[in-house]
Structure 1
């Protein structure tokens, strides 16, 4: 935990960091934030996952 990795995902660059046993932090550029938030909500609904800002 605490380590981070940068990648390209859903047409945008982001940094993913594991913050807990079942929690993750996603860092996205501000210019992609609205797009990414809507994409993540849509993708997670299929699996019954909750997203917190």
Structure 2
């Protein structure tokens, strides 16, 4: 005797609402990741050139 049970379905599906102003979490994460990539790129260029890019001549 085999009985198959159906999965329970929620009666109310939550909707995600993004904030309309202020600091957004996803924007801050993207900005932080871009800053980290830029910093690593700056270090790579400085190692490749042999001197710093932010040094006054």
User: TM class by shorter-chain length?
Assistant: 0.3 to 0.5
- Bigger strand fraction: 1
Instruction: Tell which structure's C-alpha radius of gyration is larger.
Output: 2
TM-score (ref. length: structure 2): 0.31
Bigger RCO of structures 1 and 2 (CA < 8 A, at least 6 apart): 1
TM-score by length of 1: 0.33
